[in-house]
Amino acid sequence: MTNPHDVVIRPLVTEHSMADIADKKYAFVVDRKANKTEIRKAIEKIFGVKVEKVNTVNMKGKVKRMGKNVGKRPDWKKAYVTLTQESKDIELFEGM
C-alpha cells in the first residue's frame, strides 16, 4: 500500500468524532489490512500534519434482514488519530 489514499478511505463524521476535534482527535475509515504505522504515514502525507498516536478498532458488519432473506454488511476498520499540540488542524473538518 504505497498510495496513502488507498489506506485512508474517508473521514468518519459522527457526533462523537465532531466533539473530539477540539482535542485534536480525528476519526477515519481506513483499509482493513492497514496497520498503525501505515495509517500514521498516510495521514501525515495527505494532510501535512504531525501525528502523536493512532488507535484502531475493527468494526463488525451488522446482520440485516429483508423478509426471510438474511444478509450482512461488510466489516470495516476505524482509526482514531491524535495530532500533536503544535500541529495544525485538518482543514477537512473546519466547517462542520
SS3 (DSSP) at 82:
strand
Chain position carrying cell 488507498: 6
**84: which 3 cell numbers?**
500533536
Q: What percent of the chain has pLDDT over 90?
A: 85
- What global pTM score does this model have? 0.88
Structural domains of the chain, ranges and CATH numbers in brackets: 4-87 (3.30.70.330)
Percent of the chain having pLDDT more than 70? 95
User: Comparing C-alpha atoms, which of 43, 55, 50, 52 is closest to residue 9?
Assistant: 43
The owner of cell 477537512 is: 92
Q: Model confidence over 38-70: pLDDT tens digits?
A: 999 999 999 999 999 999 999 999 999 999 999
Write down the pLDDT at residue 59: 96
